[in-house]
Amino acid sequence: MNKKNKILVIRFSSIGDIVLTTSFLETIKSKFINSEIHFLTLDKFAPILEMQPNISRVISLSNSTNLIGLLRFKKYLSLARYNYVYDLHSSLRSRFLTFGLDVDIKTINKPRLLRFILFQFHKNKFPKNFSTIMMYHQCINFDSSLKFPDTKLVVSKAEQVCARDFLNENKVRGSFVVLIPGAAWPQKQWYSSRYGKVINKIVKKTGKDIIMLGGKNDKICEEISLINNHVINFAGDTDLREAMAIISLSDIVFGSDTGLMHIAESLGKPVSMILGPTSVETGGGTYLKDSVNIESDVWCRPCSQNGSLKCFRSSQYCMDYISTEIVTDSVLKRV
């Protein structure tokens, strides 16, 4: 009988990056047929990976864990006796935890120099087919000419039933579209006034409800709901798993380059993703063939890794040049 391989995969944050690791997990599971995969992440993101078919155990760590706590956790990892460790984060924390372990450790090689050239000189030296999923697969020398597995998350039937009950209580009984306008950084958010126009056009053409999801701190959701009474605002009213269940019942999802959009694709939903200051080279962008990237070709984008850098120009042209017609059409063509 073949010995079972015990594998640890590390990715602490953020939502989108964690979701994209599920493609890598599928490859690892096929490479090591008889394997047990553990996944180490931050506790606030652990719910994303519940019921993920390729993960045997999710191990969570608090973001506030101090040095003593990390030393204790490092000892735990040593005693776990993993055969392979794949560090898909390559942070100071992940390197500290894996340093000195008597195990085969593979760490992603972040394209820091290529990013510097891209952001500072606007010269794109990345391979044409570069993506975050490709970067993860480079840990195992995967043939980049082959198709990478799709990302995959799972929502249970029970969660969907609860989500449908919640929707019924809020008078959403038919098919619907999900809008996710919020993002970690304001520069990644399109304009609330334009979203308002898109919502009106979609409702007029399809008669479908538009459900808006996001966190309590997504002020743009409140702005949109104040100017448009056709949108149903659930921002801040759901936890991560509840939002996933609602997305899994939707027809299509559109909005910002943010984690919930990657979750939507991992649940098999087509998305229309608005890319402003970010791009595929920075980890943004869609992966499903039925999904669409909406972006403008301006010389200064992308300008930073995660869109956190404030625009130095008089206007944020990467967003200005994205019209309501383009966004509306991308949704209507697939709804």
- Of the pLDDT bands very low, low, confident and very high (cuts 50, 70, 90), residue 233 is very high
Confidence (pTM): 0.95
The DSSP secondary structure of 262-325, one letter per residue, reads HHHHHTT--EEEEESS--GGGT-S--STT-EEEE---TT---SSSS-SPP-SSS-HHHHT--HH
Q: What share of the chain is helix, strand, coil (3-state, %, to 5)?
A: 40, 15, 45
Question: For residues 16 and 258, is the Cβ–Cβ distance under 8 A?
Answer: yes
Query: pLDDT digit string (tens) for 105-121?
Result: 999 999 999 999 999 99
Average pLDDT taken over every residue of the chain: 95
Q: Which CATH architecture has domain 5-140?
A: 3-Layer(aba) Sandwich (3.40)
Could you tell me the residue ranges of all domains in the chain?
Answer: 5-140, 157-332
Helix, strand, or coil here: 254?
A: strand
Which 8-state DSSP code applies to residue 2? P
Instruction: Give pLDDT tens digits for 125-147.
Output: 998 889 999 999 999 988 777 78
Alpha carbon of 252 to those of 127, 181, 201, 283, 310: distances in Å? 30, 14, 15, 21, 30
Under a CB-based contact definition with an 8 Å cutoff, are residues 263 and 48 in contact? Answer: yes
Report the candidate in 161, 168, 151, 178 with the shortest Cα–Cα distance to residue 263: 151
Q: Which of 1.10.1240.10, 3.40.50.2000, 2.60.40.2310, 3.90.550.10 is the CATH number of 157-332?
A: 3.40.50.2000
Examine domains 5-140 and 157-332 and report if their fold is the same.
yes
